[in-house]
């Protein structure tokens, strides 16, 4: 089993989308996908209603996800940790115990060479169009990532 963790700040807007999108592209027999936030603001909360709506419009149900905070043991549980922006990277890296932990952390948009700006913008204070933009960025990245993961697990 290969395990992948998607991380943002609140775990209600971006990482729940990344979690649902990647999960929809991978075999659940071989891959475990989860998400977490670096902050504790939304522990136990459902994803933002706008993330739920945008995912639903693309045929993905993320309504059963609940927010949780990133914890140091996630470095042991997960093979790959994908963060949405540099601030998430720095927050997760602060909790790393060694270079092996650090090596697991990647900006998710680094997988997509067609994208110049590697930041998935935080849509929390934005509009539904901002959530659509985030969905589109993450869908392209997860399409590439799912192929890479599936090939490397063979
Ligand atoms: P996320 O967005 O990191 O994509 O889940 C945010 C959600 C909530 C807050 C900030 C960002 N907040 O400050 O509560």
Is pLDDT of 154 > 80?
no
Per-residue exposure over 56-91, b if at least 16 CB sit within 10 Å of its own CB, e if not: eeeebebeebebbebeeebbeebebbbbbbeebbeb
* Protein residue whose Cα sits closest to atom 7 of ligand 1: 10
C-alpha distances in Å from residue 87, one per residue of 23, 63, 91, 126: 24, 26, 6, 18
* Protein residue whose Cα sits closest to atom 12 of ligand 1: 10
Q: Is 122 in the pocket of ligand 1 (CB under 6 A)?
A: yes
Is pLDDT of 66 > 80?
yes
| Domains of the chain, each with CATH number or no CATH | 2-152 (3.40.50.2300)
Note the pTM of the prediction, 2 decimals: 0.98
Q: With left for phi above 0 and alpha for psi between -120 and 50, is residue 21 left, alpha or beta?
A: alpha
Percent of the chain scoring above 90 in pLDDT: 98
Written as six digits, the tokens of 113 are: 């060479």
Mean residue pLDDT of the chain comes to 98
The pLDDT of residue 134: 98
User: Average pLDDT in the 41-59 region?
Assistant: 98
User: Average pLDDT in the 83-98 region?
Assistant: 98
Q: Is 38 in the pocket of ligand 1 (CB under 6 A)?
A: no
Instruction: Please state the φ and ψ torsions of residue 100, each to the nearest 5 degrees.
Output: -65, -40
CA of 123 from ligand 1 middle (Å) equals 8
The pLDDT of residue 37: 98
What digits encode the pLDDT tens for the residues 91-145?
999 999 999 999 999 999 999 999 999 999 999 999 999 999 999 999 999 999 9
In whole angstroms, what is the distance from residue 79 CA to residue 75 CA?
A: 8
User: Average pLDDT in the 59-82 region?
Assistant: 98
User: Average pLDDT in the 33-55 region?
Assistant: 98
Ligand 1 test: best mutation among 41, 55, 124, most atoms within 8 Å of CB?
124
CA of 150 from ligand 1 middle (Å) equals 30
């Amino acid at each position: 089993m290969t395990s992948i963790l998607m991380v943002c700040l609140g775990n209600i807007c971006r990482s729940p989308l990344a979690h649902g999108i990647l999960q929809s592209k991978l075999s659940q027999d071989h891959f475990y996908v989860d998400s977490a936030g670096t902050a504790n603001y939304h522990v136990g909360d459902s994803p933002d209603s706008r993330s739920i709506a945008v995912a639903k419009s693309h045929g993905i149900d993320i309504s059963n996800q609940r927010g949780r905070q990133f914890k140091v043991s996630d470095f042991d549980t997960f093979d790959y940790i994908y963060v949405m922006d540099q601030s998430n990277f720095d927050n997760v890296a602060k909790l790393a115990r060694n270079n092996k932990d650090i090596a697991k952390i990647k900006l998710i948009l680094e997988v997509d060479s067609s994208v110049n700006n590697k930041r998935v913008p935080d849509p929390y204070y934005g509009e539904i169009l901002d959530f659509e933009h985030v969905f589109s960025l993450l869908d392209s990245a997860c399409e590439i990532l799912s192929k890479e993961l599936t090939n490397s697990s063979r």
